[in-house]
């Protein structure tokens, strides 16, 4: 459903699937956060190529040793300098660390309302302990930053 809606192209950089270059289409979740209620609400799923998904989950890219590729892709898609991209990543990682310290309640109404049946997610404390172990391996990149990993680029 997600890939079909996106026309089998990345919604950030408009790349198409290319198995020869190991570029795949992947579903990525977009969340809204209510700090006061400690509610994390799934808003939608979007289609990202492997490179955009890697850049979006930059901390995971660092843990996997793929941060150079992720940063280069982030710079290319947004037409940013290395300093701009590093600044953005630092801000995103700081926000992720802050949010990872909270035991969020999860709202999947966007899926269940569409008739999708879900298995119960792990307990909030279990999710937080996994995030904390990853956070210990993620290093800041350097600068204060901007919000949102990708600007939307117009096609054409």
Beta 105-107 vs 39-49: how paired, if at all? Answer: parallel
Query: What's the CA angle centered on 75, arms 74 and 78, to 5 degrees?
Result: 80
pLDDT at residue 143 tops 50: no
Reading the block at residue 137, the tokens are: 């391996």
Checking if the pLDDT of 81 tops 80, the result is yes
48: exposed, middle or buried (C-beta count within 10 Å: 0-12, 13-18, 19+)?
buried
Model pLDDT for residues 22-35, shown as the tens digit of each residue: 899 999 999 999 99
pTM score above 0.75: yes
SS3 16: strand
Report the C-alpha gap between 127 and 104 in whole angstroms.
9
C-beta separation of 49 from 13 below 8 A: yes
Domain residues of the chain, as ranges?
A: 2-135
Work out whether the CA dihedral 137, 77, 88, 45 comes out positive or negative: negative
- pLDDT greater than 80 at residue 145: no
pLDDT digits (tens, 9 = 90+) for 90-139: 999 999 999 989 999 999 999 999 999 999 888 887 877 776 676 677 76
5-60 pLDDT per residue, tens: 999 999 999 999 999 998 999 999 999 999 999 999 999 999 999 999 999 999 99
């Amino acid at each position: 459903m997600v890939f079909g809606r996106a026309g089998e192209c990345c919604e950030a950089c408009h790349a198409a699937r290319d198995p020869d270059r190991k570029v795949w289409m992947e579903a990525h979740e977009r969340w809204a956060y209510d700090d006061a209620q400690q509610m994390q609400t799934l808003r939608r799923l979007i289609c990202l190529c492997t490179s955009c998904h890697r850049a979006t989950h930059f901390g995971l890219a660092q843990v996997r040793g793929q941060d150079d590729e992720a940063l280069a892709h982030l710079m290319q898609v947004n037409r940013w300098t290395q300093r701009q991209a590093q600044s953005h990543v630092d801000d995103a990682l700081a926000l992720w660390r802050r949010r990872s310290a909270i035991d969020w309640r999860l709202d999947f109404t966007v899926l269940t309302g569409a008739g999708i049946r879900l298995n119960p997610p792990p307990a909030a404390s279990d999710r937080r302990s996994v995030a904390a172990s990853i956070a210990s391996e993620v290093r800041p990149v350097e600068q204060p930053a901007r919000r949102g990993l990708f600007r939307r680029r117009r096609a054409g």
